[in-house]
Structure 1
Amino acid sequence: MKTVSLKIDDDISMETEKILSELKLPRNRYINEAIDHYNHIQKRLLIEKALTKESFLVRENSMKVLKEFEDLEDGD
């Protein structure tokens, strides 16, 4: 396990302490779970960004293929 030192804004710290007292959860566990959750969100956003980029790159080619299929259907 890695030790990390961080500075937390006072208002965030106070809110966190209130929540921790109600949950009866150690601060360390709470922060680890919060970071894990945030990492999952960021991974999804990175995947979404990559998919959007890839989709944009193949869009022109996909439209050409679609046009070719439409032309084939019109020829029948």
Structure 2
Amino acid sequence: MKTISLKIEDQIFLETETILSKHKKPRNRYINEALDFYNKLQQREILKAKLKKSSLLVREDNLEVLKEFENLNDDF
């Protein structure tokens, strides 16, 4: 486990302390869970961007294949 020094805005700190007092959870555990959640959220956003980029790259090819299939149906 790593030790870090962290500067937190006063309002965020007060909100966090209020929540912690109600949940009886150690501050360290709460911050670790928050970072874990945020990391997973960011990973999803990165994956979303990659999928969007890939989708746009193959869109033209997909339209071309679709037109070919439509032409095959016209021949029958």
Which bin holds the TM-score, normalised by the shorter protein? over 0.9
Give the AA of the match of 2:25: L
C-alpha separation in 2, matches of 1:25 and 1:55: 43
Deviations 1:7-47 (A, max 9, x none): 10000000000000000000000000000001111111111
Calculate percent identity across the aligned residue pairs.
Answer: 59
Q: Which residue of 2 aligns with 1:36?
A: 36
Q: What secondary structure is seen at the aligned counterpart in 2 of 1:3?
A: coil
* CA-based RMSD: 0.5
Aligned length: 76
1:68 aligns with 2:37: no
C-alpha separation in 1, matches of 2:36 and 2:6: 16
C-alpha separation in 2, matches of 1:8 and 1:75: 68
Q: Which aligned pairs between 1:2-41 and structure 2 lie closer than 5 A?
A: 2-41=2-41
* TM-score under structure 2 length normalisation: 0.98
C-alpha separation in 2, matches of 1:27 and 1:75: 70
Q: What secondary structure is seen at the aligned counterpart in 1 of 2:3?
A: coil
- The unaligned stretches of length 5 or more in structure 2 are none
Structure 1 residue ranges (4+ consecutive) displaced by more than 6 angstroms after TM superposition: none
C-alpha separation in 2, matches of 1:30 and 1:10: 17
